[in-house]
Amino acid sequence: MDTYSKFINVDHIIGMHIAYGSESFKIYRGKRRNVAIRKSLGKGNYYNDATANLYADTVCTVCKTKPFWANKGEVLLDEAAVISVNISMERKKEKSEFTSDVTVTSGGLTRHITILGENGKIYVVAANFGEGEEQVKLSKDAKDLCTHKTGKEFVLRAESAKVFEIK
């Protein structure tokens, strides 16, 4: 089922927003119950058969339920979503629609999103999905939250990600 929305809020507790890629979230409910509740027999021991079953919906940006062929090296997903806990739909939408004057330049298979934190600070999350190092250039000074180095240019190793706090 297509929600036709880039925003979803579950019980005013979990907020989800599509940062880029898909135009809307999809909700998939399988034909069979997919969550088993098992009765515990003690530490690490469980009955083999479920004592009760529940349905659980799956929230997706792309929902493919049938097998499909993919070519070698083909990108299967190029999307990003942000999930927040304990946030109202209105606040989630307000935060996701902020405009930032931070410009991020990168190449290859590097992807990035810019988000506004609950503390009012701007963060950039960058991930390198390529096989070689990539240069990430920011238009403002930033702090690498992993290494605590500051600057405007950073190197992302292959298959790695970093979070930057904009100063």
Q: Do 68 and 103 belong together in one domain?
A: no
The residue among 96, 117, 143 that closes a domain is: 96
Q: Residue 84 CA to chain centroid, in angstroms? A: 10
Question: Residue 95 has what pLDDT?
Answer: 61
The residue among 49, 67, 96 that closes a domain is: 96
Question: Residue 4 has what pLDDT?
Answer: 93
Q: Do 86 and 127 belong together in one domain?
A: no
Question: Residue 34 has what pLDDT?
Answer: 72
CB 135 within 8 A of CB 153: yes
Q: Do 86 and 110 belong together in one domain?
A: no
Q: Do 92 and 105 belong together in one domain?
A: no
Query: Domain total for the chain?
Result: 2
Question: Residue 139 has what pLDDT?
Answer: 86
Question: Residue 2 has what pLDDT?
Answer: 92
Q: Do 167 and 119 belong together in one domain?
A: yes
CB 98 within 8 A of CB 133: no
Q: Which of the 8 DSSP states describes residue 143?
A: E
Q: Which domain holds residue 29?
A: 1-96
Residues 6+ apart with CB under 8 A from 110: 126, 127, 128, 129, 130, 134, 136, 156
Question: Residue 150 has what pLDDT?
Answer: 92
Q: Do 48 and 110 belong together in one domain?
A: no
Q: Do 124 and 166 belong together in one domain?
A: yes
Question: Residue 130 has what pLDDT?
Answer: 84
Q: Do 142 and 70 belong together in one domain?
A: no
Sheet holding 7-10, edge to edge: 7-10, 14-20, 80-85
The residue among 96, 117, 138 that closes a domain is: 96
User: How far is Cα 19 from Cα 10, in angstroms, rounded to an integer?
Assistant: 18
Q: Do 80 and 158 belong together in one domain?
A: no
Mean pLDDT per 10-residue interval, the chain, length 167 residues? 88 82 89 69 52 77 89 85 74 61 73 81 87 87 89 89 89
Structure tokens at 144: 């690498």
β-strands 160-166, 122-128 pairing: antiparallel
Q: What's 150's domain CATH number?
A: 2.60.40.1180
CB 129 within 8 A of CB 159: yes
